[in-house]
Amino acid sequence: MKKRWPLILIGILIILLGFAYVTRDQSKQGESITAVGSTALQPLVEAAGEEYSKVNPGIFVNVQGGGSGTGLSQIQSGAVSIGNSDLFASEQTGIDEKKLTDNRVAVIGITPILNKKAGIKNLTTKQLQAIFTGKVTNWQQVGGRNQKIVIVNRTQGSGTRVTFEKRGLNKARSIASQEQDSSGTTRQIVATTPGAISYVSFSYINDTISVPTLNGIKPTNKNVTTNKWQIWSYEHLYTQKNTDKVTKRFIKYVLSSHVQDELVPQLGYIPIKDMQVERLE
């Protein structure tokens, strides 16, 4: 009779599960929205989602990273409700932008950063291009100290890199070099490696690195809103063309003044309504 106890245990477990199922909280079965994609955009959507759930109990916003490419391919296949992306769908190969609705929710500025020992205060677009295409290899050649240039790139296909090459390098392609996935690590490398140059979004600027002006223009949010500083990109929440009401309502919430005025600047983004110019590609 010793053998009975596993059976009894399983029986009790099943009864417990059944009881749990019957007494489950019906109001919390509600809808959930899944957003997948850009790791840079993830905290914003996460924070907005948390607040949204507080105001609208029963709706859960489930945010995942995975990269802009994953986000776009997931929204294209219809596996998720929102695809977070740092890029326009047209900039990503393999995505048919006509099938998707673009919701631009914020803007982010990107700036070159240098190691402090480079001794550079200003760069021109031409110089920047020459550096990243390998034509210039010493800071002396662009008016700095005698120090070899170390290029630290961002991962191929990442939003920051695509935007930087398109806007900062005039569509020139950077030579192959060290690549870093994360902004924090990139900043750390540039801060500690003599002669290093890379690029990060504005929110990563601090005093461990030096930030040159580009063609005499300072990388500030204000200059981005007027397009005087040209290296910036939108943050997009892509949805399917005929998406459901729940998703639409959530995106409306993200564009509401509450999120735009409080959360967006807190996370280092520029609110979309501050922009005085618009880009379509």
Partner 1 sequence: MNAKRYDKLATGLLYTIAGIVVLILLLLLGFIIIRGLPQLSWSFLTTPSRAFTAGGGIGIQLFNSIYLLILTMLISMPIALGASIYLNEYAKPGKVTSIIRTMIEILSSLPSVVVGLFGFLLFVVQFGLSFSILSGALALTVFNLPLLTRSIEDALKSISNDQRNGGLALGISKWETVTKIILPAAVPSIVSGLILSAGRVFGEAAALIYTAGQSAPALNFANWNPFDIDSPLNPMRPAETLAVHIWKINSEGIMPDSSAVSAGAAAVLIIVVLIFNLLARWIGRLLFKRLTAGS
Partner 2 sequence: MDKIRESILTKSHASKLERRGKIISFMCLGGICLIVLAIFIFIAYRGLATFTSDHVSIFKFLGGTKWNPEVTENGHPLVGALPMITGSFLITILATLLALPFAIGTALMMTDITPKMGTRILQPVLELLVGIPSVVYGFVGLTVVVPFMRSIFGGSGFGILAGTFVLFVMVLPTITSMTVDALKSVPKDYRSASLALGATRWQTIYKVVLRTATPGILTAIVFGMARAFGEALAVQMVVGNAALMPTSLVAPASTLTSVLTTGIGNTVLGTVQNDALWSLALILLLMSLAFNLAIHLIAKRGELKR
Residues within the interface to partner 1 (CB under 8 A): 17, 20-21, 23-25, 28-30, 32, 34, 36, 39-40, 42-43, 46-47, 50, 60, 62-66, 70, 77, 79, 181-185, 203, 266-268
Q: What is the H or E stretch that residue 122 is in?
A: strand 122-123
188 close to 209: Cβ distance less than 8 angstroms? no
Buried b (16+ CB within 10 A) or exposed e, 128-145: bbbbbeeebeebeebebe
User: What residue 205 binds from partner 1, partner 2, none (CB within 5 to 8 A, per partner kind)?
Assistant: none
CB of residue 93 vs partner 2: minimum separation in angstroms?
5
CB of residue 246 vs partner 1: minimum separation in angstroms?
14
Contacts of 19 (CB under 8 A, 6+ apart): none
Contact residues toward partner 2 (CB under 8 A) are: 39, 65-70, 72-73, 76-77, 92-95, 150, 152, 155-158, 173, 176-181, 185, 189, 192-193, 196
Instruction: Choose between 107 and 152: whose C-beta lies nearer to partner 2.
Output: 152
What are the angstrom distances between the C-alpha of 11 and each of 17, 20, 22, 24, 196? 10, 14, 17, 20, 65
Beta-bridged to residue 236, according to DSSP, are 85, 104
CB of residue 176 vs partner 2: minimum separation in angstroms?
5
CB of residue 136 vs partner 1: minimum separation in angstroms?
30
Say which residue the tokens 């309502």 belong to.
249
User: What residue 76 binds from partner 1, partner 2, none (CB within 5 to 8 A, per partner kind)?
Assistant: partner 2
What are the angstrom distances between the C-alpha of 197 and each of 60, 136, 162, 179? 41, 12, 17, 12
CB of residue 129 vs partner 1: minimum separation in angstroms?
28
CB of residue 190 vs partner 2: minimum separation in angstroms?
9
Instruction: Choose between 43 and 119: whose C-beta lies nearer to partner 1.
Output: 43
Strands 82-85 and 232-240, sheet pairing:
antiparallel
User: What residue 63 binds from partner 1, partner 2, none (CB within 5 to 8 A, per partner kind)?
Assistant: partner 1
Q: What is the H or E stretch that residue 78 is in?
A: none
Instruction: Choose between 91 and 264: whose C-beta lies nearer to partner 2.
Output: 91
How far apart are the C-alpha atoms of 107 and 129, rounded to whole Å? 24
Instruction: Choose between 182 and 226: whose C-beta lies nearer to partner 1.
Output: 182
CB half-sphere exposure, 244, CA atoms < 13 A: 10
Instruction: Choose between 63 and 255: whose C-beta lies nearer to partner 2.
Output: 63
Instruction: Choose between 60 and 253: whose C-beta lies nearer to partner 1.
Output: 60
Instruction: Choose between 72 and 263: whose C-beta lies nearer to partner 2.
Output: 72
